[in-house]
Chains A and B, each alone.
Chain A
Amino acid sequence: MTMKQHSKNMPVRSMTMIQALRSAMDIMLERDSNVVVFGQDVGYFGGVFRCTEGLQAKYGTSRVFDAPISEGGIVGAAVGMGAYGLRPVVEIQFADYFYPASDQIVSEAARLRYRSVGEFIAPLTIRMPCGGGIYGGQTHSQSPEALFTHVSGLRTVMPSNPYDAKGLLIASIECDDPVIFLEPKRLYNGPFDGHHENPVVPWSKHPLGEVPEGYYTVPLESAAVFRPGAALTVITYGTMVFVCEAAARETGIDAEIIDLRSIWPLDLHTIVESVKKTGRCVVVHEATRTSGFGAELVALVQEHCFYHLESPIQRVAGWDTPYPHAQEWNYFPGPARVGAAFKRALED
């Protein structure tokens, strides 16, 4: 289970991931007058997912404001603001719509410190709701993390629960490097283990929905051992953390589940220690398989744990197709597919 970082006497209350993210932005708007929050529908309305509700009323329109529907414009303006000395936290409404901002993210935000030898920096946080499992179809379900992890100069982060969401978002906002902050929207209101036939369980029923009200951080580049185990190591992040937990429960396999939290740069130490202990490894993500981030994870484990491996590294991912609508549950890697991979990893 996630190691809690905050001081013990801080008041704690039950929050959804949405409330936790909002709390992180609220705290950073309060603490640092250079923090500004903007994006499409982010201001008056409070965001299509309610993540910024009330912030404009509290901090004013010059700190929290609506933006034109222009992803390239939102990120490009944020790069200019960062060069001035602000700390912009911008939102792309869905990760599926970051593509028009690719040039500003890859060619500008990621490279600015390097190409100017630190004269100018881009301390941005770009929030993007991502992931499937919500009947979002092709353009409301994608998991584009591999497109960011391939870019030198970017940090890519994805929380799996309200506690981490708040701590990681505060750490990301404070970080002087550009951070792509991916939020699995399937987890906004409650954990989801892939059993779409079951009623949704709210975060108020989960211990990780207990979130400190004040300031705390979850450090970047630190993975969490979400479920300790001895039989095999599962490397995953986002919604799949809960799917993997369900797969372990249903197969009875004592899987050690690592929630990466920071996808890249990552916490290699935690991965290597675990795989050396278990000798078996399964990598799981929602994103499509070929050249997905799982390929990098498989390569790293192979390189660092080769002599400890007792079976081939297994990979469970979305199929190499666009994300379909009607075939949602045939596409989304659920507990059955993950459990089957666990079993394959235990063969030999």
Chain B
Amino acid sequence: MRHTSHLRLHVPEPSGRPGRETDFSYLHLSPAGEVRRPPVDVLPVDTSDLAYSLIRVLDDQGRALGPWAPKADPELLRKGLRAMLKTRIFDARMLIAQRQKKMSFYMQCLGEEAIGTAHGLALSDGDMCFPSYRQQGLLMVRDVPLVDLICQLLSNERDPLKGRQLPVLYSVRKAGFFSVSGNLATQFIQAVGWGMASAIKGDTRIASGWIGDGATAESDFHTALTFAHVYRAPVILNVVNNQWAISTFQALAGGESTTFAARGVGCGIASLRVDGNDFLAVYAASQWAIERARNNLGPTLIEWVTYRGGPHSTSDDPSKYRPADDWEKFPLGDPIPRLKQHLIAIGAWSEEEHEETRKQLEAEIIAAQKEAERYGSLATGHTFSAAMMFEDVYKGVPEHLRVQRRQLLEE
């Protein structure tokens, strides 16, 4: 070992920067079908190898290979493809609406559509997701009315959240979609608490918590893993590793030379690392984790390896910190063409059906947008009345808020 006289601070850097290609070898990919599928009652410690490899089902030809191939009904896969398309088209339309200044802010999940949709299809009614702000796929697959979602984005007179929340921070209890908070990672431990509650009551419902790669650095990531392990909570802990937290590469969140799935094993939680752009792998891994949770076998942590195809938000310009064509070079590709290729290969889909579905969804989303815009927007000033802002701070309206509401209305 070479002796150096001075210490040096190590600050991780992505290999790719604007004008310089990313070297994706850091991802440590496994070929499709190669990673083993243990029984659902596997001991957490015996998932170590799974936390450092990558579960993949679909190969480059769109064939479903290996023990994780879910043998899913083609009808379910068609539903999944439709939900992914719907999510992507919805995102694209809302991005335009934001650029047209109809809404103040938007966040796409471009490239990450398989994760929310396939996971959502694997869950049952009554299960509760604790999403971050990039799991709109869960809403699309549960057929939440688009008009409601767009009204929230527009903060208009029909906004279910009465104009109190930033666009995208939805709350849809009946769809098992917990109120999204702007504060990162807070929902991860809350998901564990919800699962503990279900266990306390002897229920059969489970919780699914969501977090991004960057937010794993927050303390609530660690509290969630600890509590989930200690109380063997019926919860799935999803880490969506899209490689980027705004401008910071996942190495800066602690991903250099390790995986986020490995954190789970270290905390005594069965953990998987899965191709997040492989709809079949997402569905199969979700099913596996759900079965574990539902059978009192404890929590599962899943790192979904994907890529944030779009800007972080409408306030972000990724060309300032990463190569412009990075997503095209990402080795796990795009989840939509990958599932499409598979469905066509098994004779359950066609180019014509794809195009027709796309057009139909486009029309559905445009119609929903038109209807939602009829109820106004923040831009047109048609929002919930200002007096409403004093409600729901508490169950009732305490005296000091009644006084303040009166002051507002009188001034």
Contact of A77 among B160, B173, B192, B198 (CB under 8 A): B192
Q: Is B259 an interface residue (CB 8 A)?
A: no
Report chain A residues within 8 Å CB of B169.
115
Report chain B residues within 8 Å CB of A116.
161, 171, 173, 179
- A interface footprint on B192-233 (CB within 8 Å = 1, 0 otherwise): 111111111100000100000000000110011011001000
A107 to B179, CA, bound (A): 12
| Contact in complex: A120, B173 (CB < 8 Å) | yes
Among A80-110, those with CB < 8 Å from B are: 80-81, 83-86, 100, 103-104, 107-108
Given contacts A107-B183, A120-B179, A121-B395, 4 further A-B contacts (CB under 8 A): A73-B224, A83-B178, A85-B197, A115-B171
Q: Is B87 an interface residue (CB 8 A)?
A: no
- B interface footprint on A17-48 (CB within 8 Å = 1, 0 otherwise): 00000000000000000001000000000000
A145 to B392, CA, bound (A): 22
- Residue pairs across A and B with Cβ atoms less than 8 A apart, 27 shown, are A36-B200, A63-B200, A73-B220, A76-B189, A77-B227, A80-B195, A80-B196, A80-B197, A81-B193, A83-B178, A83-B193, A84-B193, A86-B197, A107-B181, A108-B183, A112-B179, A113-B393, A115-B164, A115-B181, A117-B160, A117-B162, A119-B173, A119-B179, A120-B171, A120-B173, A175-B395, A221-B399
Task: Count how many chain A residues have C-beta atoms less than 8 Å from C-beta atoms of the other chain.
Answer: 43
Among B57-77, those with CB < 8 Å from A are: none
Q: Is B400 an interface residue (CB 8 A)?
A: yes
Q: Is A78 an interface residue (CB 8 A)?
A: yes
A177 to B191, CA, bound (A): 20
A118 to B394, CA, bound (A): 9
Nearest chain B residue, comparing its CB with the CB of A36: B200
A119 to B224, CA, bound (A): 23
- A interface footprint on B141-182 (CB within 8 Å = 1, 0 otherwise): 000000000000000000011101100010111000011011
Q: Is B22 an interface residue (CB 8 A)?
A: no
Contact surface of B with A, Cβ cutoff 8 Å? 128, 130, 160-162, 164-165, 169, 171-173, 178-179, 181-183, 186, 189-201, 207, 219-220, 223-224, 226-227, 230, 392-395, 398-400
Query: Which residue, of B161, B165, B189, has the highest number of chain A Cβ atoms within 10 A?
Result: B189
Among A142-171, those with CB < 8 Å from B are: 152-153, 155
| Contact in complex: A73, B183 (CB < 8 Å) | no
Quick one: given A81-B194, A103-B220, A119-B179, are A73 and B189 in contact (CB under 8 Å)? yes
Q: Is A268 an interface residue (CB 8 A)?
A: yes
A254 to B102, CA, bound (A): 64
Report chain A residues within 8 Å CB of B399.
221, 265, 268
A107 to B172, CA, bound (A): 19
Report chain B residues within 8 Å CB of A118.
392
A176 to B226, CA, bound (A): 28
What is the CB-to-nearest-CB distance from A80 to chain B, in angstroms, rounded to a whole number?
A: 3
What is the CB-to-nearest-CB distance from A71 to chain B, in angstroms, rounded to a whole number?
A: 9
A177 to B220, CA, bound (A): 23
Contact surface of A with B, Cβ cutoff 8 Å? 36, 62-63, 67-68, 70, 72-73, 76-81, 83-86, 100, 103-104, 107-108, 111-121, 152-153, 155, 175-177, 221, 265, 268
Nearest chain A residue, comparing its CB with the CB of B233: A77
| Contact in complex: B179, A80 (CB < 8 Å) | no
| Contact in complex: B220, A81 (CB < 8 Å) | no
Nearest chain A residue, comparing its CB with the CB of B182: A107
Report chain A residues within 8 Å CB of B164.
114-115, 117
Report chain A residues within 8 Å CB of B192.
76-77, 80
| Contact in complex: B227, A78 (CB < 8 Å) | no
| Contact in complex: B207, A114 (CB < 8 Å) | no
Report chain B residues within 8 Å CB of A119.
171-173, 179
Quick one: given A63-B200, A79-B190, are A153 and B183 in contact (CB under 8 Å)? no
Quick one: given A73-B223, A79-B193, A115-B165, are A177 and B171 in contact (CB under 8 Å)? no
| Contact in complex: A83, B183 (CB < 8 Å) | no
Report chain B residues within 8 Å CB of A81.
193-194, 196-197, 200
Report chain B residues within 8 Å CB of A155.
394
A78 to B190, CA, bound (A): 7
Query: Which residue, of B182, B207, B230, B392, has the highest number of chain A Cβ atoms within 10 A?
Result: B392
| Contact in complex: B178, A84 (CB < 8 Å) | no
| Contact in complex: B193, A62 (CB < 8 Å) | no
Contact of B223 among A72, A107, A153 (CB under 8 A): A72
What is the CB-to-nearest-CB distance from B271 to chain A, in angstroms, rounded to a whole number?
A: 19
Contact of A108 among B172, B181, B227 (CB under 8 A): B181
What is the CB-to-nearest-CB distance from A34 to chain B, in angstroms, rounded to a whole number?
A: 8
| Contact in complex: A83, B190 (CB < 8 Å) | yes
| Contact in complex: A177, B394 (CB < 8 Å) | yes
Report chain A residues within 8 Å CB of B394.
113, 153, 155, 177, 265
